[in-house]
Amino acid sequence: MPPTEVLVPLRWSDMDAYGHVNNVQFLRLLEDARVLGLPRWFPQGGYLLDQGIVVARHEIEYLAPMDYRSEPIAVDLWVTRIGGAAFDLGYVVRDAAGPDRAAPGAADVGVTTATVYAVAETSMALYDFAAAGPRRMTRGERMALDAQRGESVPFRRRR
């Protein structure tokens, strides 16, 4: 299963005093990529977001400065690990494909010149808000996440 492509709009205010999209705002973009993308993995509803998941960990590498543009950027979203009460998400933050963002004819041959701005990974812990504690993954959740499993995040600088 290829990653899920989520288009995430930028805001002018994502830029900081250096005139580029601020490094913290990248995490904000990933948040919206999850909010927009995860429901697609649970088309029959009742998915885990309703029951509660919390962010337990983030890791992100910045590869290129991102400038503000009025068109959305693309975030590839997939599952990198599934545990008993947690799972990890991988992300690639890149230019969305489009006639103005690739060389002429590139799309025809599956080639893209899109810039990759960041790669990242988030650990999500399943949470039971009612019981105020962690909870086990259900069989249905595991099956839905397993269908989205992909490769490790291509970090360059992981310690």
Q: Return the residue of 5, 42, 51, 59 that touches its own copies, per CB under 8 A.
A: 59
Q: Is 60 in the site for its own copies (CB under 8 A)?
A: yes
Q: Return the residue of 1, 31, 128, 140 that touches its own copies, per CB under 8 A.
A: 31
DSSP state at residue 21:
B
Q: Return the residue of 2, 17, 104, 108 that touches its own copies, per CB under 8 A.
A: 17
Cα-trace Rg, the chain = 17
Q: Are 75 and 134 in contact (CB under 8 A)?
A: no
**Cα 153–28–150 angle (5° rounding)?**
20
Element (H, E) at 117: strand 116-128
Q: Is 64 in the site for its own copies (CB under 8 A)?
A: no
List of residues contacting its own copies (CB under 8 A): 9, 11-13, 15-17, 19, 22-24, 27-28, 31-32, 35-36, 54-62, 65, 68, 70, 121, 123, 157-159
